[in-house]
Each structure stands twice: as structure tokens, then as C-alpha cells.
Amino acid sequence: MDRTNGKHGVPPATAGGRLLLVSNRLPVTAVVDAAGVRVEPSTGGLATGLRGPHQRSESLWIGWPGDLPKLRARRRAELDEQLAAMRCVPVHLSKTEIRRFYDDISNGVLWPLFHYLLDQLPQDARGWESYRQVNQKFADEVAAHYRPGDLIWIHDYHLMLLPQMLRDRLPAANIGFFLHIPFPSSEVFSVLPWREEILEGLLGADLVGFHTPPYLRHFATSLRRVLGVDVDVDRVLREGREVRLGVFPMGIDASGWENRGQDPEVQRRAEEIRSEGRGQKLLVGIDRLDYTKGIPRRLLAIERLFETDPELREQVRVVQVTVPSREKAGPYAEFRKRIDELVGRINSTYGTPGWVPIHSLHRSLSEEEVAALYRAADVMLVTPLRDGMNLVSKEFVATRTDRDGVLVLSEFAGAASELGEALQVNPYDVEHMAARIRQALLMPAMERRSRMRALRLRVMSHDADRWSQSFLDAMLRIRREMHARETGPAEDAFHAAARLREQAQLLLILDYDGTLMPFADTPDAAQPDEELVELLAELAARKGTRVHVVSGRSRQSMERWLGHLPIGLHTEHGLWSRLRPEEPWTLLRPVQPRLKDKVRPIFEHFTSTTRGSFIEEKTASIAWHYRLATGEFTGDNDFGEQQAKELRLLLAELLSNEPMQVISGAKVVEVRPMGVNKGTVAPLLLADAGTAARVVAIGDDRTDEDLFMALPPSALCMRVGDGPSVATYRLADPQEVRTFLRGLLSPSAVEKEAAAV
């Protein structure tokens, strides 16, 4: 496994500042007893996933230290000193705050609703003001420890207001947020009384991360339907900032679980567990005591299995471990009682003097005990009704170094999108689940090992280090984009033209639509006027000047319109390139036509339901234009925008595992191969022009930002129109672009007027 940026590398968070990790709970547990106060490391997915970045960098972890008794000043100072040695900053909460913020809202409302269990919602939800106040407490603590250049990474549903609270206080801070539970569909999310405040709180981040593409899509749909905010596939323009959305499936400490699986003592205990069954097949379930885990329905499926397959009785035994959780809460106590009653009923119905079908353990197990159960299991049952990821499934796979065992996994667990070789089940379909368990028990050894090999390859390569690294890498890319080419107050672009005239060598890289030419209703109507053709010819004739047009249009159109000029042409966003008229066109990336075939029917459907829209096909990409689009019967001119939003969201999910990218231009949605963008041609143009050339690039939309970012910091980049950009200057429209370009040949009217003043 490549660990270049992982365990053995320099953590990216140290690049320019510290990492401030913020979560509801600290990764340690404070223990107070007669011997004094001590701090012990905690277990769990979040603590494990972030342990590496926290240990390897100059980071601080800010969070609640847990429910502690009232401590005297000396004991409190002793606790804070131990936490400080571990670079942990406590946010102390009162019992009332814990009850209202943690129990009533976080776990009483947000947890069940985000897991689609609306029947678990209280009739009268109270405590939102405490939720807001606790988020503000966290904001106070983070702001008190923040230093310019730090990267702030906030975690989970307890702190969804915190990003915007910090944005208000630290406008220039780099803030990331990751949601560890599902984000529900917009219909379910809209049930929340505080839906607007939560969405606005999350939009304070620079990057909002989710486990799976559907969670991202649900969030994007909620933004559009609740706040009316337009989402451009993976980014949102908010108060002049660009908020990025990303998918980062969480991994586990894969090597740690693999090592436990190979530990001789663990293997010995696993053999003992198997021998206790005297040749019986072993089914294992290990879950936190929570109504989202689907334990009752799993037990009903096992009951159905014994009912319909009597030959399996006394041939199978089940070990169900439920780890205590929130037992003081009424619903959880009732839930445990329900499980105990089901286990008792099944055991009394099918048990014999020599066979107990289900062994139920209600306690916490050590990691070694868990690993032994994983190793002993013939079938691992992971069947939650809904789960953000579910790391138990991945732990089981990592532990099975013998390449054996079968994973039965709920299709509603986030891990299902990664672990396709598991036997996936609908946990609401008891009959189907029983059939799947039977299939797992009878699966041939060759198939078991084939499936497990594939599962292990994915789990071992996508571990917790890779998860945290990928998120932090994305944050640092955003930081670089935000701070790329920072200059002081923007200098007037037309005055820059005077300095550029003095340059002996110039490299001009120009977009076409929206930059050199105003947008046209149809592609063929955008052919260049005589004025533009003459201007490009004069620029190309200037001594020491190379002119290149980099466009999203087809090479046939660009060749027909500008092919006779002594300039470079680069089309389809960098797929085709031709440096000079006498040189042949070069295809810079391979083409996979099947991916266009996958998208075409969707575009055809939207075209048939959106009057005035049409499809444009290029070599490797396909585009849907809606500049003239209206509602079929209403004549609504906003209908095209609404359709484009729906199309982008649909394509984002459809192509989530394909090497294709959805991009938005001016009244166009285009699907192109991943890795093909205008930045692709930058190395060719720079090498051709030489190191002495002064580089000037002008473009008007997101596709041109790829080009700007691929150029050296010394390049002079100009953005046409509104929108976030890394460009140094901004021009209003194509007419100003032409005025600027003429200024490279001779003083413009704008320069003369400024000089006169």
C-alpha cells in the first residue's frame, strides 16, 4: 500500500499551519476515581480515523471530555494538564447542556431523522436553543486557539451550526466539515423545524464531505429545495465564496485489524469458539445497541430460516453481541427489552437440550475478543436499517487473513457502495434476508474465497489513513486555489496592457465563447465577426507573440472559423490540440464512446421535455444546451435552469463510478472524460513558447479556472464576468476583452483617457 502521504509521510495539515480537529467527543476518556484523575485513549471509528493525523502533526483536538463529576479546582487543573499533554482541548458542558444538546436534539431528533426513522421522533422536540449555545461554546474555544494558516476540520451532526459561526468570526479561515451519518432525502430532511439554520450552518465550510454520492446528492437537493441555492454538481456559490462538496468513504485501521487476525492468541481463541459449536456453522452479529442497526429484523430472519429450513436446526448457532449504548434513554431500554424477548422466543421455540440457537451477549468486548469472533464466523451479519458507513463490515474483512467467511450486508449501509462482493440484503424484507443467510451458509469454498479476496483488496487499500489524507488533500487544494496569485488591491487591467506591450515575448491563451465572442443562442451562430478575425491576425503578427484559442467547441468548428489564421487551436476543453496551422491535430486523451452512449438517453429525455433545448455531440463529450429553453406549456423561461439543476444532480449520481466529469457552462451541461480540461494543454503551450514569454490567459467560466490553475504563478490571468476565480484581474464582457487585446498593440482609448487625467 502506498503510504507516501500516509503513516510514513509528512501530514498535509502541517503545510502552512496546524490542524484543528473538532468533534463532540475527544478521542480520550477521562476517568475519575479514588486514585485520582487519568485520561485513557478511546476506541471508535472517529478516534481511529483521525488518530494518525493527530499524532503526526502539530494538531489540537477540541471536544467534550465526557460526563464528569464535579471536580475541585486542583483535580480540574490536573485533568486539563493531562489533556494538554495529549494536545486535547476540553469543552466543558453542564449536565443541562448535555441533556438538551446531546440527548434531546443530537440523539433524540437528528440521529433518528437522518436515519429515516421518523417514528422515533419526539412529539415535542425541545432543546434547540441549547444545541445552538453549545455550538457557540465550541466556536469560542476554536476561535481562542486559532492561528492564521490553521486548517479547521469539524466532525458530525452534533456541530452542524459551527462552520458558519466560525466563518462569521474568522472569515479567512479554511474550514472543512465531514458528516459521519447519512444525509437524508430532501423530503425527510424538510421535516426538521430548523432545516434552514442547519443548511446555512454547513455552508460556512469551504468543504462539506459525505461517505457516499447519494448523501451528497440529498444534501444538494435540500439546498435547492429548502434554501433555493443552486448547486453546480459539487460546488455552491455562497456569499462570494465557493463551497465544495465531496465524497470521502471512511476506512478503518485496516493493518491493525489484519494484525489482530494474525495474532496467535486471537486465532487460538477463534478455534476454541468454533470447537464449542461441535461442527455447527457460526453466524455472528456485533452491533451497538441502537434501533438503526436492524437487530430485531435480523432475528426474525433467523427465526424464518429455522422455520423454513428445519435441516439447518442444530447445524447453526448465532452469537449476537449488543454493545451497551445510551441505556439511560427510555427508547434504548425498551429496545433492549424487545431484543431479549425475541431471543427468548426463538430459543424456547427451536432450542433443544443440547442446542441453544442464539447466544446473546450484552456487553462491551475488547478488540481481541471481537477479532476472535470475526475469525471464527462462517457468516458475518451486518444488516442495519440505515447506516452512514458501518465499519464493522470492514473490520470483519480486514481480520479474515484466511480469505474465508461470508459477509451479509444491508444495502442501506454506506459500505454497500464499496463492498459489492458481499451478499447484500434489504433488511426490511425478512424473507429475502433469510434466503440470503441460507445462501451464505451453503456457499462453496471457492466462491467464498473469491468474494473475500476482492473485499480485502478494497478494504486494505482504502483505509482510515487514506480517508483522512484524501479529505485534507482536498482542503489544501482549496486553500491553494483561494490563495493562488494573491496580489494586493487589483490593478486596472488596461494599465497592465501598457507594461505588456514592452514584453519582447508574449503567450496569449484565449477562451472563445463568452470571452472573444458573446454567447449565441445556437453553436453555429457564434462564428467570429470580421473585427475579431482581424484582431487575432494582428496579435499573431506582433513580433514575439504566440496566440492560442482554447475552446470547448469542436475542432471542426474552430478549424472552419479560425483555421486560416497563424494561431494555435485547442478544442473540446483540451482533448484536441494543434499548435500551428501546418501541423496535424493531436488527440491528447483516449476516447471511450460507450460512456457517451450511457449519457445520451438521459440527454434525449431532457431534450424531449424541455422546449428549445438541444444536444451537441463532440469526439468524447456530449452537451445539453438550454439557452432557448422554456416550459412546454407554460413558456416559463426559468424552466431550463430548473431542468439543468435536475440533470446535473442525476448525472452526478449516475457517473459517480465512471471516469467522466459533469461540467456546467453558460446555459449548457456537458459530460466529458475525467482528466480532460483546458489545463491539459498548458504544458504544451508553455514548452512551445519558451521560458522567456510573458503568459496572459483570459476566460469566463469554471472550465477556464482549470487552465488558470495549470499556469505558473507569474501568469497574468483575467476572468470575464462574475464568479469566484483565481484570476488576477476581471473584465466585464467580450467587448472589454477586445479593448484589452487592442491595448497590447497600441495605447487604448481607456489608457489615453487615464493618462490625460
Active site residues: 511
**719-735 burial: b if 16+ Cβ within 10 Å, else e:** bbbeebbbbbbebeebe
CA separation for the pair 548, 569 (Å, rounded):
6
Q: Which residue has the cell 455447527?
A: 280
Phi, psi of 391 (to 5 degrees): -90, -15
Query: In the numeric block, which cell numbers belong to residue 654?
Result: 449516475
Cα radius of gyration (the chain): 30
Phi, psi of 690 (to 5 degrees): 90, 160
CA separation for the pair 388, 517 (Å, rounded):
47
CA separation for the pair 452, 421 (Å, rounded):
8
Provide the β-strand partners of residue 729. Answer: 718
**Residues whose CB falls within 8 Å of the CB of residue 386, separated by 6 or more in sequence, listed in order:** 115, 116, 117, 182, 292, 412, 413
Q: Which residue has the cell 468570526?
A: 169
Q: What is the DSSP letter of 221?
A: H
Q: Which residue has the cell 456453522?
A: 281
Q: How many CB atoms sit inside 10 A of residue 244's CB?
A: 18
Within 13 Å, how many C-alpha atoms sit on residue 691's CB side?
Answer: 0
DSSP H or E segment with residue 606: helix 593-609
Under a CB-based contact definition with an 8 Å cutoff, are residues 506 and 694 in contact? Answer: yes
Under a CB-based contact definition with an 8 Å cutoff, are residues 403 and 447 in contact? Answer: no
The helix/strand/coil state of 731 is: strand
Question: DSSP assignment of 527-583, as one string?
Answer: PPPHHHHHHHHHHHHSTTEEEEEE-SS-HHHHHHHHTTSSSEEEEGGGTEEESSTTS
Count of residues in the chain: 757
CA separation for the pair 718, 459 (Å, rounded):
44
Query: In the numeric block, which cell numbers belong to residue 565?
Result: 489564421
DSSP H or E segment with residue 506: strand 506-510
Q: Detail the DSSP E strand segments found in 608-715.
A: 614-617, 622-625, 660-665, 668-673, 694-699
Q: Detail the DSSP E strand segments found in 388-458.
A: 406-410, 423-425
**404-428 burial: b if 16+ Cβ within 10 Å, else e:** ebbbbbbebbbbbbbbebbbbbebe
Under a CB-based contact definition with an 8 Å cutoff, are residues 740 and 493 in contact? Answer: yes
743-746 contacts, C-beta under 8 A, 24 or more apart: 743/494, 743/497, 743/498, 743/501, 744/497, 744/500, 744/501, 744/506, 744/508, 744/539, 744/542, 744/545, 745/501, 745/538, 745/539, 745/542, 746/501
Q: What is the DSSP letter of 228?
A: -
Q: How many CB atoms sit inside 10 A of residue 10's CB?
A: 11
**Is residue 683 exposed (0-12), middle (13-18) or buried (19+ Cβ within 10 Å)?**
exposed
Under a CB-based contact definition with an 8 Å cutoff, are residues 613 and 628 in contact? Answer: yes
**Is residue 5 exposed (0-12), middle (13-18) or buried (19+ Cβ within 10 Å)?**
middle
Under a CB-based contact definition with an 8 Å cutoff, are residues 54 and 14 in contact? Answer: no
CA separation for the pair 624, 614 (Å, rounded):
6
